Amino acid sequence: MSQEPEQASAFETYRSLLDRHPLLRVRSRPESSSLAPPSSVVNGSSSTTQVADIDLRPLKQAAIMTYLSDNTRQICQYELPGGGECRDKNCENVHLSRLSAVEPSDEDTAQYLCSSLPGGQRYGVKVFMKALDVARLSQPTMPFDARVQEALSRLGLR
């Protein structure tokens, strides 16, 4: 019987690459679910190491895919024929001309940072969300990439 545990330990449980980058999954998820495992909060101390620039393109692409795959809305009728553009600021439909303005939510961004940064899970989603919120409040017109960099700087990761 001692051979069974040895044979069982020779195999590792399969972990999808999407587990590390859950925002790349196309399926929608309940708002209450957390993409990152719970972790402890660590303050930005001198032991914090700085990280290289993080690639936010997969996160932005996932936000655009979520925006485009919203089956409760249709593509605006003014944008389909001949590449027109909707001028109604209150129009609730999907607008292809506004894709560059689609940004990931702070929660999605925080979960992405948690799973993508080395040691990111030590901080936890809430700490990243707070840093993103502070960066937004300090400069409301700051572009998304700059806001993420500012949040990382506030945590001592930049």
- At 79 the pLDDT is 85
- At 4 the pLDDT is 52
- The alpha carbon dihedral of 71, 59, 61, 14 has a sign of negative
- At 150 the pLDDT is 94
Start-to-end Cα distance in the chain: 53
Q: Are 41 and 127 in contact (CB under 8 A)?
A: yes
Cα angle 41-46-48, degrees, rounded to a multiple of 5: 50
pLDDT tens per residue, the chain (158 residues)? 555 555 556 767 766 656 665 655 554 444 333 333 333 333 444 344 455 578 999 999 999 999 988 889 998 888 887 778 888 989 999 988 888 899 999 999 999 999 999 888 899 999 999 999 999 999 999 999 999 999 999 998 87
How many whole angstroms separate alpha carbon 144 and alpha carbon 150? Answer: 10
- Give pTM, 2 decimals: 0.63
